[in-house]
Chain A
Amino acid sequence: MSTNLDKDALPQPGDAATDGPTPLLELRDLHVYYGAIEALKGVSLTVPHGQVVALLGANGAGKSTTLKAASGMLRPRTGDVLLRGERVDGIKSHELVRFGIGHVPEGRRVFARMTILENLKMGAYRLRRPDPTDLERVFTLFPVLAERRKQIAGTLSGGEQQMLAIGRALMGKPDLLLLDEPSMGLAPLIVQQIFEILREINEQGTTLLLVEQNASQALRLADYGYVLETGAVVMSDQADALLSDPRVRAAYLGEAVE
């Protein structure tokens, strides 16, 4: 894909230490258990610098579990999580934030009783000296938030809360943004808007790993996609290839099987 080449040519924030073939994030043979239940049965995936990778699958396929393992919220029983070629599994999520991983948790989880501005300032918590241009950047990406910076986050609509959650994660200057179902419970028009903004964020140099139910939107944004089923990767390909794959179309895009 030509767009990939363009993106690779851009200066990447995390590029100094590693360049070339080392991917930004790599999961190797992850096994995660909830008690006796094996939620992930050996998931491996790669997220190259500057790209958008989508994780697709039905409810209970292990998408969110994979993301939680990557963000340090869950500890895999076996398997490695590598960030820029360095093992980071077992590091707590609040520590991983300092390695440049931004996490937009499932269900948005904005600080409902703080204002938008306070939420965003909380997002820059890891930075000793917050950069005022970050705030400008978020407000440029999400003009809605700029208009209402004094409004209490809990009174925002679902879409605005999702935007705030993404904005908050961006305030920590992440190289890699993990998004857990940004389209959850949102109207199609808002979903489209949010995916537009995600594309813009990616074009500005942030790598995205995206968990989605909305396969068509996700694959149109993504460069590469993985399909999970009952805790294992069953399919992975370039996003446009997946988008035209009849099995994917049947299972996730609601088309009749021939």
Chain B
Amino acid sequence: MKKLIFFLLVFISNSLYCEEGSDLYSFNNDIDYERFNSLNKELRCPKCQSSSLDGSNSPISKDLKNQVHKLILEGKTDDEIKSYLIARYGDYIVYEPRFNSTTLVLWVGPFIFLFLVLFIAFYLNMRKSKDVEVK
């Protein structure tokens, strides 16, 4: 039983340690700290493709987190920080792509499809009711 408790304690302390990631960075106020955390969730790790900076421990993610930290301390806004990274790593770096000519299909595509489906459904329905009337 003692052993079990020991292992549990080791396990818990270990997971607490892992959770502390962003506490390694110091900020002037709580708002900046929150901004840092949410930016790291919106930014994508360029090396690992399917994880955010926040969820990645790859060296490049650490470097980019350091850079985000530095830019926040310099007083840059969220938009300025995102633009800074997009200028270097491309649209890829943000999970929510910006609206421009290459991402147009992503943003508008679903609405075009929705419109088409509604249009076809409406048309077929109309025709059906016409058929019924004729009969």
Partners in one complex: no
Enumerate chain A interface residues (CB-CB to B < 8 A): none
